[in-house]
Structure 1
Amino acid sequence: MTVTEPPPMTRALAISYAIGLPLALLAIVFLPVGRLDWSPGWFFVTFLIVVYGISALVLWRVNPVIYRARSRFQPGTERWDRILLALMLPAMVAEIPVATFDAGRMSWSDVPFSIVVLGYVLLVAGIALGAWAQAVNRFFEPGVRIQRERGQHVITAGPYQFVRHPGYVSAIMIFVGVPFSLASWWALIPAAFATAILILRTSWEDALLRTELDGYADYARRTRFRLMPGIW
């Protein structure tokens, strides 16, 4: 079988990501606050840029093809997945401005410092787990589809030994970590919505893989849990 990889990311797209994403992060952190001298916001932005930067450099060394796979939605992405993402992604993004408006301007939430620390622990653990999953899984794409042209097969290495969808575990940890690290209870509302959509996506993707990816049903019998060992 001939394996066809996605086309490489163009230089213009790579530059736009490298410049646009940090600028967008600065905007959604500080525009709701209404000022730039909010130190928790600068700590949050710096933290994310450093940790994601380290993650990106590691992936560039161990699995560079992941940047082709994840740079865009590929043809064949399931229609239902596009609908779920259209619901989930705005909620995911909304966490940050809701949190910064709350904590940086209105001071609605009284969040203990221990919870803020827990939030940053969840962010580090979530980003690290997501990087681990991407490092061992060259088929880690942003959309749900069967990647026949890439010779997709079941991945059982790394965190896939323990749960079938470690990338989604990573995302949930980050969803919860953002409100905690920014000291906002109100931001847990979009976080909970995004998590609920992601759990639904996990169930539907798992069903698709069972029926259409060779060997996945056997893998699912050996690796019993989708997201949480001992629970589901």
Structure 2
Amino acid sequence: MHDPQPMTSDTRFHGIGSLVQCVIAAGLVAMVARSEELAFLTPYLTVMLAFTLFDRYLRRRHPSVLKELLRPGVPVSDKLTFVGGGLLLTLHFVVALLDVGRFHWSGECPPEIRVAGLVVMTGGFAFAAWAMVLNPFFSPIVRVQRERKHRVVTAGPYRLVRHPSYLGLSIGAIASGFALGSYWSLIPAVAFVLVYARRSGFEDRVLTAELAGFSRYAKLVRWRMAPGLW
């Protein structure tokens, strides 16, 4: 008999991603009615598609990532952070698409702001992807992976901040609101950033206590998520 748990958890993971994609697709239909949106919407969806394809690549490169949530004894807080972050991003898309596609709560966002938002969003997601590829221990769960001989990763973006993937995703989430032309969508985007900023502190405490060499690394790389600030 096969254990049904991996199927269930994997389905939930894919369900969140599918929901985001459905929301964006629904928004596309609503926004295409305004032909002037196509110039902004097409590159935006191209970037989102590229990051979705990267996510699939990451799963093949680090197959243990999706298995982490299935481990016995995973704290509820870790699961809530993982799922809650996805739901906040979904809410971000919902608000943005209702705003720009139907109700126009934010008014007219200048084109230069939307272009700048798209550029910054692309850079943020690319920075996060760089960090995820370089870190073979990247995981949705905060724990030391002793069975895989966990070590401190110090290459690439990890020379700048201790949590570069969180930084890149945070930048991308905030910039996404500007790229879509919705100031109101920044509310769930900021909430997303705060969730992962809090998580970075918890992760630092766990790694400092349990991962050899992390304390020394933290002294060399002083900044948690914001270079020069925090």
Q: Assess same fold via TM > 0.5.
A: yes
1:170 aligns with 2:194: no
Which runs of no fewer than 5 residues in structure 2 stay unpaired? Answer: 1-5
**For 2:21 and 2:163, how far apart are their aligned partners in 1?**
30
- Matches for 1:24-43 after TM superposition, within 5 Å: 24-31=19-26, 35=30, 37-38=32-33, 39=38, 40-43=40-43
**For 1:42 and 1:208, how far apart are their aligned partners in 2?**
42
182, 185, 188: which one aligns with 1:187: 185
Q: CA deviation at 1:25?
A: 4.0
**For 1:64 and 1:86, how far apart are their aligned partners in 2?**
21
Does the 8 A contact of 1:78 with 1:145 survive in 2?
Answer: no
Task: Compare 73-82 and 116-125 and name the one that shifted more.
Answer: 73-82
Between the two proteins, the alignment pairs up a number of residues equal to 215
Q: CA deviation at 1:132?
A: 1.0
- Matches for 1:98-109 after TM superposition, within 5 Å: 98-109=95-106
Task: Give the corresponding residue for 2:50.
Answer: 50
| Higher helix fraction (1 or 2) | 2
Does the 8 A contact of 1:51 with 1:124 survive in 2?
Answer: no
Task: Give the corresponding residue for 1:119.
Answer: 117
Question: Which residue identity does 1:50 align to in structure 2?
Answer: A
Which runs of no fewer than 5 residues in structure 1 stay unpaired? Answer: 1-8
TM-score by length of 1: 0.80
Task: Give the corresponding residue for 1:3.
Answer: none
**For 2:47 and 2:62, how far apart are their aligned partners in 1?**
23
Q: How high is the sequence identity, in percent, across the aligned residues?
A: 29
**For 1:29 and 1:158, how far apart are their aligned partners in 2?**
32
Q: CA deviation at 1:70?
A: 4.1
RMSD (CA atoms): 2.9
Does the 8 A contact of 1:33 with 1:101 survive in 2?
Answer: no
**For 2:165 and 2:28, how far apart are their aligned partners in 1?**
31
Q: Say if 1:153 and 1:131 are closer, same or farther in 2 by CA, change over 3 A.
A: same
Question: Which residue identity does 1:35 align to in structure 2?
Answer: A
Q: CA deviation at 1:26?
A: 4.3
1:87 aligns with 2:84: yes
Task: Compare 63-72 and 103-112 and name the one that shifted more.
Answer: 63-72
Task: Give the corresponding residue for 1:5.
Answer: none
Question: Which residue identity does 1:84 align to in structure 2?
Answer: T
